[in-house]
Amino acid sequence: MYVVSTLERTGPTRQLLYLSTKMQELGHRVWVLTLSPEPKDSLKAIFLDQGVEVLSLNVGRLKSLFVGRARLRKLVADKAVEVVHTQGIRADGLVSGLDPAISRVATLRNYPFEDYPPLYGKLKGWLMAWFHLRALTDVGRVAVVSGSIARSLETNGKLQVEVVHNSVDSQLFCAPSSEERVQSRANLALHPDAFVVVIVGDLIRRKRVPELLLALGRLKARLDVLVVGDGPELDSCKAAVGISSTVRFLGKCEDVRPALWASDVFISNSASEGMPNAVMEAIATGLPCILSDISAHCELVTVANASLPEVTFFSLDKPKQGSVDQLKEGFDAVNDYWLRTGQRRSCDAFSVDAMAEKYCSLYRQGKRS
């Protein structure tokens, strides 16, 4: 049984979809349990289409503190569940009341003391991070999605964890045909010869999109920029580009593939990441990437260990001209890549099978002693 707050359309929910459907393919009985009512932008229908049974406690955050643990315990007993796999602070906080004979596994996709304070405020964020790490001590096995998170937890959280990298559905995220690329550009009203940059992700402080847009403007290059995503930094992003007609904000997209297929390069300026789904999906479609030089981005390239498209790194923490020069070098490398190859090639480096195999191993180890 997989336990999460909701099935909101996010990267972690997409990873859960890959994992739960693969477990069903392997012959396991699978349930997905949500704690709260679904938001408007939910992937629940896709889970159901894949034959995954979705249950819900249908309680809010406050009520779940009082009744969530008892209801989860009853549901697990009624369904004769053998493995409970949680994801997220609320779900991870409910497992302490379960029978120790049940295998318990949790997946942590960020380092809470790094992620929560910018999102929720310094004091509240710190308290949430402390609570989350404390809750994880009641879990049999804890998986994290990158080595950088593992090192932070082992050093500062005193937690022993296993690294299980995210995956990509290579049948969905693959290089476009010539027809798909042409059609994607036409649908987005892009000139066939335009050089298109795509930025994908929530517009939050950690992603540093306003700074990236300012830096792209300083390049004085002829670029069409697509920004796929929404969030509290949207106004700051718009202010960074002023009246530029070459930057288009597409909002959240149900299907990001047309934007990837229409583009020539993917750029991320994140200050920190777990194991970034958006970057992995871009690489899977054969799209060259220019990435901030954070440890998660560097690890992702190492993990791929395959024939990658061009991937270069930059830092906007450098003085202004140095940052612009690094970005220019990245664009030069991408242009050279296109001159050498002339076409996109799919990159099947992030296997769903490998992720599922590692989780199966953790399920066998997840009983708390």
**pLDDT tens sequence across 271-325:** 989 889 999 999 999 999 999 999 999 998 888 766 678 899 998 776 666 678 8
Residue 335 CB neighbours (<10 A): 15
| pLDDT at site 368 | 56
Which strands sit side by side in the sheet containing 265-268, from one edge to the other? Answer: 247-251, 224-228, 196-200, 265-268, 289-292, 311-314
Domains, the chain, with CATH or none: 2-167+351-365 (3.40.50.2000), 178-341 (3.40.50.2000)
Model pLDDT, residue 274: 87
pLDDT of the residue at 212: 94
pLDDT in tens, 84-102: 999 999 999 998 778 888 9
CB 198 within 8 Å of CB 263: yes
- Distance CA(294)–CA(67), nearest Å, equals 41
pLDDT of residue 100: 82
Q: Which residues pair with 289 in a beta bridge?
A: 266, 311
What span, in angstroms and rounded, lies between the C-alpha atoms of 78 and 74?
6
Whether residue 64 contacts residue 57, with contact meaning beta carbons closer than 8 Å, is answered with: yes
State the pLDDT confidence band at 119, using cuts at 50, 70 and 90. Answer: confident
Taking 3-state DSSP, the helix, strand and coil percentages for the chain, each rounded to the nearest 5, stand at 45, 15, 40
pLDDT in tens, 10-50: 989 999 999 999 999 999 999 999 999 999 989 999 999 99
Structure-token match 């871009």, residue found: 282
Alpha carbon 262 to its chain centroid, in Å, reads 21
Please tell me the predicted confidence (pLDDT) of residue 3: 97
Each residue's pLDDT tens digit, 175-222 = 999 999 999 999 999 999 999 999 999 999 999 999 999 999 888 788
Q: How many CB atoms lie within 10 A of CB 308?
A: 16
Band (346; pLDDT cuts 50, 70, 90): confident
pLDDT tens digits for range 124-176? 999 999 999 999 888 889 999 999 899 888 877 677 799 999 999 988 999 99
pTM of the model: 0.85
How far apart are alpha carbons 276 and 206 in whole angstroms?
A: 12
Using the 8-state DSSP alphabet, how is residue 66 labeled? I
Put residue 220 in one of left, alpha, beta given phi > 0 → left and psi -120 to 50 → alpha: left
Beta strands (DSSP E) in 159-220 are 162-163, 196-200
Over residues 224-266, the pLDDT tens digits come to 999 999 999 999 999 998 766 689 999 999 899 999 999 999 9
DSSP annotation string for 229-279: B-STTHHHHHHHHTT-SSEEEEE--S--HHHHHH-SEEEE--S--SS-HHH
Of the candidates 268, 275, 272, the one whose C-alpha atom is nearest the C-alpha of residue 289 is 268
